[in-house]
Amino acid sequence: MYEIKKIDDITSLNNFKSKYLGKNSVLCFYFSKLITLEISERIQCSVFLNSCKKKIQDKINYKKKKLQDNQLNQQKNKHFLDCTLPGRKIEKGNLHPLTVIINEIKKFFNYLGFKTFYGPEIESTYYNFDALNIPNDHPTKSMNDTFWFDINHVLRTQTSSVQIRILEKYSVPIRAIVPGKVYRRDYDHTHTPMFHQVEGLIVDTSISFSHLKWILENFIVKILNKNVKVRFRSSYFPFTCPSAEMDIQDKHGKWLEILGCGMVHPNVLKYCNIDSNTYLACAFGIGVERIAMLKYAVSDIRYFFENDIRFLKQFYNSEKY
């Protein structure tokens, strides 16, 4: 077995095994000829051949173990491991602060009986504009304000588009919220091209603006865990009338807009075949990033999307997976 001593890798050893123990080996050839011998000779030859086979197999196993040990020693020498060093701690994962805020918003409104719905981010112009009573000459339809795919499809500019889908599919009365991403061509310390909204919708026979105002004021107290100064400013949205914007005063005395709201325009109800003389509706759209900025005292909205681990680690005491 001088040949096996010169083998220095597993591949060569496997070739050696095939040569002497494989189907085309000399040993296998002699095993196939045993049937032609007399019984006495067959017994003697089979004993001899099996003995040779066992010796060869033992030599192969011994050589294989030796090669594996040599390979392991080489790896140990190449990658030195100091067992006295302290272990590397694996940090636990944590929800993104915006996800935490969205979950808190959903929890609050689910408690009030709102159901959660979702809709497509690539939206048709009918659901994003036309069915929401937005005229053709409205600035939001321009290329400077909206991301267009083609003449009929856009990246949705508000989650209000899902209002129409809900009203088309489900019967009234209804209370619904729609969390999701929206897209607009805007970028500064309080705006980003992609941000999150939570749309709210209530349709019933006896809904008024006072109901809407009570819900939103209690929502702010609950979500920020403190009493804060809020104000409602008269505004304009094509899909609500009357319309208002809700502002919150920060610790520096500055007012920050966090949501728009109002009574759903009769034309929007008409698009969904709902009798505006019988049913009234109110709606609101909450800016999730604005809530998070106030709750966590973040000065620049862009911090939420830069994936800076130093920034995100500050929220490790928030909601866990």
Determine contact, residues 209/284, Cβ cutoff 8 Å.
no
Say whether both 74 and 117 belong to one domain: no
What is the token pair recorded at 189? 């310390």
Say whether both 36 and 116 belong to one domain: no
Q: Do the domain assignments include residue 87? A: no
Say whether both 194 and 307 belong to one domain: yes
Q: Do the domain assignments include residue 149? A: yes
Distance CA 271, CA 166 (A): 12
Domain that holds residue 181: 97-315
Say whether both 223 and 181 belong to one domain: yes
Provide the residue-wise pLDDT of the chain in tens; the chain has 321 residues: 567 777 778 888 788 788 777 777 777 777 777 778 778 887 888 888 788 888 888 888 887 888 888 877 777 666 667 778 888 887 777 888 999 999 999 999 999 999 999 999 999 999 999 889 888 888 787 877 889 899 899 999 999 999 999 998 888 899 999 999 999 887 777 778 899 999 999 999 988 999 999 999 999 989 887 778 889 999 999 899 999 999 988 778 888 888 999 999 999 998 888 988 899 999 999 999 989 988 888 888 888 988 888 888 887 654 543
Say whether both 138 and 265 belong to one domain: yes
How many Cβ atoms are within 10 Å of 75's Cβ, its own excluded?
Answer: 9
If one counts the domains in the chain, the total is: 2
Which residues are 284's β-sheet partners?
A: 200, 261
* Ordered strands of the 148-150 beta sheet: 122-124, 153-155, 148-150
Say whether both 135 and 208 belong to one domain: yes
* Sequence letter at residue 138: H
Say whether both 9 and 158 belong to one domain: no
Contacts of 176 (CB under 8 A, 6+ apart): 114, 115, 116, 117, 163, 166, 200, 201
